[in-house]
Structure 1
Amino acid sequence: MDPREEEELRHLVRKELEARERMRRERESDLRVRREAGGLSVDRKRIIEAEIEDFYLSKGYRRFENEDGELEWLSDEELREREGQLPIDMEELDVEQRRVRNRFILLAILGFLGVVLLFILMQDRTGSIQVISNIPGATVVLNGSPTEFLTDCRLEHVKAGPHMISISKYGYVPDGAANARVDLKAGHNEVVVLKLKPHYTDSLGRSR
Structure 2
Amino acid sequence: MNTNNSIRLNKVLRELNISLDKVITVFSKLGYEIEARPTTKIDLYLYELLKIELKYDAPVKPVFFNDNLITTPSVINKVREKFGIPKSIYKYYSPTEYSFESVQYKYLYFAKPSDFNDPFDCNNNLISFINENSKNKTRHKSKEKKFAKKMKNVGICCFSRTKDSVLMWSHYASKHKGYISFAFY
Instruction: Establish whether TM, by shorter chain, passes 0.5.
Output: no
* TM-score range normalised by the length of the shorter chain: under 0.3
Name the TM-score, length of structure 2 as normaliser. 0.16
The structure, 1 or 2, with the larger RCO (C-alpha pairs under 8 Å, 6+ apart) is 2
Quick check: which has more Rg, 1 or 2? 1
Q: Which structure: greater strand fraction?
A: 1
